[in-house]
Amino acid sequence: MNQSIATIFFVIASLALTSDCRFCSADKTYNKLGTYDYADIDNKKIAWQDVFAIEVHHYYVYFYSPYCGHCQSIKDLVINYSVCGEIPMFFVEANNEVVTSKDTHLTIGATSIEQLWILGYPSLVEIESGVVIANIAGANAIQEILLI
């Protein structure tokens, strides 16, 4: 009996230690054991014009600049969420195509790239069924959303 419990404990501990995830989805806590680089999510980077071309029902698009201090402050959390979180996440790096402007609440309901803009970097846009349902700017606001 004790050997079975020890074996089960060993298997659980091994899985926890070998997991790429540093985000505990059970209690939404973030463990700062590791750090990430934007190169870790190269396979999740998309172009501005492809924001609405994703063939997933519900997803986030994170807009960032590698030179933005606020983006850097939540980089590990955001990338970790993209690896382990419940909602798929894609990344758009700052470039001249990304439209920035005020009044992002007016983009709620957008269904095309011509109807979308962000306030600045970092920003997180949530899309469901091809429709923008949230457009959030700022490191603190994004952190709160991802930790809910």
Domain positions in the chain are 2-146
Q: Is 54 helix (H, G, I), strand (E, B) or coil?
A: coil
Distance CA 130, CA 111 (A): 6
pLDDT confidence tier of residue 10, bands split at 50, 70 and 90: very low
Containing H/E element for 61?
strand 58-64
- E-strand ranges in 3-44 read 23-24, 29-30
Q: Which residue has the higher pLDDT, 19 or 109?
A: 109
DSSP state of 108: T
pTM of the model as a whole: 0.80
Give yes or no for a contact between 85 and 25, defined as CB atoms under 8 angstroms apart.
yes
**Arithmetic mean of pLDDT, 93-117:** 97
- Whether the per-residue pLDDT at 15 is higher than 90: the answer is no
**Arithmetic mean of pLDDT, 94-102:** 96
What's the CATH fold of domain 2-146? Glutaredoxin (3.40.30)
Write the pLDDT tens digit of every residue in 112-140: 999 999 999 999 999 999 999 999 999 99
Cα 45–Cα 135–Cα 77 angle in degrees, nearest 5: 55
Rounded to the nearest 5°, which phi and psi values hold at 92? -120, 120
Strand partners, 90: 61
